[in-house]
Each structure stands twice: as structure tokens, then as C-alpha cells.
Structure 1
Amino acid sequence: MKNIKLNYVLLLLALCTLSCEESENVSTDEPNNEIIEDYKLLAVSDLGEVFEIGNNTGDLENVGQINKENNSSFLPTSCLISSEEKIYAIEYVYNPSPTNNLLIFDRQNGTTQIIPLKLPSTINGYEKGIIALAWDNNNLIGVLAENVFVYNSTKHLINIDLQNNSIIELGITFHEDKISSMKKINSKLYISTWGDGLLEVDLINNSVNNFSSIKASRIAMINNSELAIMQSVSGSIGGAKPGIIDLTTQSVSDYSNGETFGLATVFGNTIYKDEVYLNIVSSNSLNLYLGILKTNFVTNENSMVEINSTTVNRNLIILDTTN
């Protein structure tokens, strides 16, 4: 009888050990398919919709709305820029004469200031409009067209003081059209166009140099001597490919690997983070409504994260990151 009881106890112990080992094996071998976000992208549309987009998941969430004087207004994406606390935009309205409203959206509380700007009387033109903005320390630098609806209209560089919203003319003009994006590096301003070359503006010498062969958009700063861009692809409407401009040699290195990507809007900046150049693109050949194109300039690889919406306005650009 004692042997039977002993054998029974040993059998129970063996079964318990086997069960525990199987449980441990299941826990250890079970795959983890959860995608972890390292950060989210802050993106805004020309309707003023503010979104956060998961960098690795493509999950899209509407987190705000930039209020406008006219709800039907479209905001030039070349005028959408962001600081750590605010988003800035320009609204062109008639009330009853042409008016440029500076829109300042608070990223923390979601409120919007609508500030009618008083443009310099020294600048001619009836349809004067601000068509591009860039961040300039604690102020804004802008491109003001004498007539926003006239081809080859004279463009003036202006400075917008965010303390009192006053505007001064910088004394620099040019005539190139299709201003797509703009970035200030030290004392120079780089202005991309979708067809009329890349402008290098020396803000000290008041000179403008045109790199006519570089037709691009989505400027992002890599360092003081390199810019990331989406180059225009000849013969393709809105077709673009990623590259790097060497500002010293004025040459472009192609990082497309032979691929062409579609920009729903060719106007607006984007960002460069952790050695990756980020763009929102679309592709008919890939049946892609919207996706995040990631170009790694170190490995020379392009990857895509599909945005999980087929209804959001596609005129959407990346301004910053969150989290």
C-alpha cells in the first residue's frame, strides 16, 4: 500500500512538472505581434485639420482644428509651420478687400488666434498675399507676392515680428513662381520651387542665387551644408523622389532606388529625424491612398507605413513630432 501511495505522489509530481514546463514554453514561445510606436507625427491639412499619426503603425487621430475667418478657406501648405508650442498658417480672405490673416494654433489647448496682418505700404500690388513661411528664431520670415494670381509677380521677403505682429520688408525681391517650401540656415534662406529652381538667398548681402536644375519640395534640414528634398520627376504630375542637396557643391544625390512617389500636394516642408527623411506620399501603382515614406540616407533604403485612412484629406504635410 505504501508503494502504491508513493507511486501516486511521484506521478502527481511528474504531471505537475510537465504542466509547468508546457506553461513556461507557451509563454516563452508566444510571438509578440504588437507594433510599438517610437513617436507620433504632427500633420496638418490645407483645411486646417490637425492630426497625430503613428510613425510605425500609421494610426491617424484628429487632435484639433485650426479655426479660420472663413470656414471654406484653404490654407497654403507652404505657409504651414510649427514651433514646439504653436502652429502657424496664413489665410487669404476678402473682408471686403484682400486680407492676410495670421492663424496661430496653440498645440496644448487647441485654441486659435486670428490676426489680420498689416502689410507694408511700400510694397505695390492689389492682391498682395503671403505664399510661404519659415521659422526665424522667434519670428517668421515670409514670401509676399504682389499679386497672388499673376504669373511672374514680384515676390518680396518680409519679417513678421510675433511680439507685435508687425511686418518689415527685407529689401530682397525675386520673380520665381511655384514656391513650394522654405528653410532658413544661419544667414541664408533656401526656397524650393516646383519648376523654377532652388533659390539661395543671402540675408546679409541681399543677394539671390538660383540653382536652376534643382526642382523640388519638402525641404528638411540635415545639417548646415545638406538639405533633404523631394525632387520633381520629369513627365510625372506630382511625381517625386527623395534626395540630398550638397549646398557647397550645389549637387543632388538621388536616394530613390529607381522609385517614384506621388505628392498629393507639392507644397510644404517636412522633417528629418534620427537619420530618416519622412514624407507623406500616395501611390496609384501600390494602391496606396496615403503612406509615410521613410528614407534612410545611411542605409539608402526606402520603406513605407500605410496610413490607416482612405477618407482623410490627402493635402497633408508633416510639421513636427509629438511624444
Structure 2
Amino acid sequence: MTEDNTPTYVSKGQEFARDMNYIPDRILASGSSLDPLDDRFPSGSKDSPRDVQVWPVEPGRYRLVAAKACPWANRAIIVRNLLGLEDVISIGLPGPTHDKRSWTFDLDPGGVDPVLGFERLQQAYFARFPDYPRGITVPAMVDVPTKGVVTNDFPQITHDLFFEWRDHHRPDAPDLWPDDLREEMESVMQRIFTEVNNGVYRCGFAGSQEAYEAGYDRLWTAMDWLEERLTDRRYLMGDAITEADVRLFTTLARFDPVYHGHFKCNRNKLTEMPALWGYARDLFQTPGFGETIDFDQIKAHYYVVHTDVNPSGIIPKGPSLEEWHSAHGRS
């Protein structure tokens, strides 16, 4: 299982393949319509639990369930913070470890989410789809009145938090999807996803030496590209934070504590790449980012849940993380 509770589909001699079929429903503002992203799930697709259903933007109606341990969920937590949606969309925080069934609310008193009344996120999935056939993943948007899951489509969730909830953003919220950079940003984000966000998993869950080495080379080609790109610009797209930075940051935050050793991405550490390390600290120290990172939960998750990679379940004490607060020199 990956950290979001989806099957890894690793076969001997093959590379890791992520299941990207998610519940395609959307939460849209009045007057909005479905965009081309929904072409991934044509009407009647066997990969979708049902045809796309549109839900209305409504403050207080939805609960974002997002574990801090998970990089994909961490994105949604950051975007919610940056846009000032904390009082508009409530949040449920599962603990860092889970079994094959589901993430659990073991951080809450009595092990029960105080809003949904559930012990497991699985209960919200089954409340809507009693025979839900796929992994119980985070992040997930849950409809509080019915306690049923709405969507777990992680890239669409953060996209819609920006575009569909604009009427509820704080006045000085950042423009995470600038129109003039959109085309280039989409290309940058696609490369980051395939080669870095997913690239570390391609190394960690490789089914053969050959698959591992191919994934390793792809990852470091992309990391070197990012190091060069960030040498002469503060953020990925220039002088302002965008969605692209959010998507890269959650992988960088986990790199030295987890991916370097646990996933064998060990050519060098993040702290040994001057531009990327300064950039990561710059974001970490920006309100909305660093407070979402819990290194103890992150390490507990990967080293305990991935029993095929770390059968002992021993969690490493290091590395030292104090330097995340050191001067980054990029302002």
C-alpha cells in the first residue's frame, strides 16, 4: 500500500504504477460548469464509481479530511490555509498510520472525528458507495449533512479550492493560478508530478533493480532541472507563490527524513542542493506552509505503514530538522 492507502501494483520486474482513478465529483460555484479535466471519466466509464455529480459551494457544508503525513493531502491543507478557508471548510486530521482498511481518527478524543462521528474515513466512503472498490484515500471532501464522501480527486480538490471558492477567499489570498503563466505552469506541474512527486515512489516501490535504477535516474534528472530553475528565481514561476510551489514543497519536505533513505533516493540530500534547499526553507517559513508539516507524523507513517520496505517498523531518530528555521537568503 502507498501512504494514501491505494495499491502499489508493483510486479516483479516492473516499475511502480499509481492508480489515478478517483471519485470525479466536483464542488462548483453557482454558474460554473464542468471543465475538460472531467474528460478523464466519460459517461459510463467503468473506472468511475458513477457519472460526475456537481455539488454546490456552501460554507460550512464540507469537511476536508487530510492526514498531515500524506504529501497529497498536505497540498490541500496548505491551499486551504493560503486562501483563508479555515472558517469555511472544516478539517479532520487522521493519524499518521493506517491498516489495509482505512485511515483512522486516532488523534481525536475517543478515536472519533468530532464532526462526522466516524472512527474511520472508510465509513464516509461507504456512506455514499457501500461497495466502494478502491483504496480509501486522503484528501477527501466529505458532505457533513449526509456524512458521505464527495470526492477524493486530490489535484482537482486544490484546483477547485482556488477557482470555485473565490468568493470566500481572504482579501489578500495569493493568485495560485495566474492566467498569464497557466500554460507554462501546467507543464511544470506535470513534470514535477511524474518525475518528482511520483518519482520518489517509482524508486521506493520498484519491482526490480532495473526498474529502480531507471526511476532513480529519472528522479535526479528532474531534481537537477529544478535546482537549475530555482537558481535565478525565487519561486518556480517567478516572484510569487503558485500552485506549482505547493505541489513541489510537500515532496521536498519529506525528502531527507524519508525519501533519501526509505525510498533509496540517495544520490544526495536536499540539504546538499543549495537552490532547492534554500527554496524549501523559504516556503517552510512562509505562513500557510511550515505549520502543516509534522515530521514525527511523516516518519511514523512511512516507516510503520510500509512493512514491505521497512519490515522492522523501526522509525529513525534523525535527521536533525532545526535548520528548516535557518535563514534562507532568498527574499
What's the TM-score, normalizing by structure 1?
A: 0.30
Question: Of the two structures, which has the highest relative contact order with CA contacts closer than 8 Å and spacing of 6 or more?
Answer: 2
Q: Say which one has the larger Rg.
A: 1
Point out the structure with the larger strand share: 1
What's the TM-score, normalizing by structure 2?
A: 0.30
Point out the structure with the larger helix share: 2
